[in-house]
Structure 1
Amino acid sequence: YFQEPAWNGVELMNGLKHVRPGGGFVPNFPLAKKTDVNGQDEHAMYKYLKSMCPSVERRVYTPILYSPVYTEDVK
């Protein structure tokens, strides 16, 4: 559901190079590895950033595919 479909860095780079945008594209900047930004396994950096920038949207929409759910989650 709306997540990067690559399972690892090699698969992600192959997707960029051959599919979208394709044409042999290779980014000339570093890419961060995939990490959880919400839920039980959220990365500490995102937890900190979300605590510094409160959400302007107080409603939580369903279905949510992770737990726990907070209004400050990255949407």
Structure 2
Amino acid sequence: MQTVAQVQTAEPWVSVEEVALHLGVARDSVYRWIDAKGLPAHRIGKLWKFKLSEVDDWVRAEGANEAQARAKPVCRNSTRKKK
């Protein structure tokens, strides 16, 4: 059984909004990094939850590096009629 001291020192789960604030980025970036770059996240029902220590380790390992796994630009055909 855990003691009161162990319960109080356990790292809390945080939300997407809290991770975005912690990293100084938009919430959309957090969702994009979960899908494209493996940001450590845990799905609990409809919500994503995080341990900030895991997020910090991921950042230090250059998980957020934009040079890595950068998607190729999408080429779109122009819908304008040529004269």
- TM interval, shorter chain, is under 0.3
* TM-score, scaled relative to structure 2: 0.22
Q: Rg larger in 1 or in 2?
A: 2
TM-score of the aligned structures, taking structure 1 as reference length? 0.23
Larger helix proportion, structure 1 or 2? 2
Tell me which protein shows more strand as a share of its residues.
2
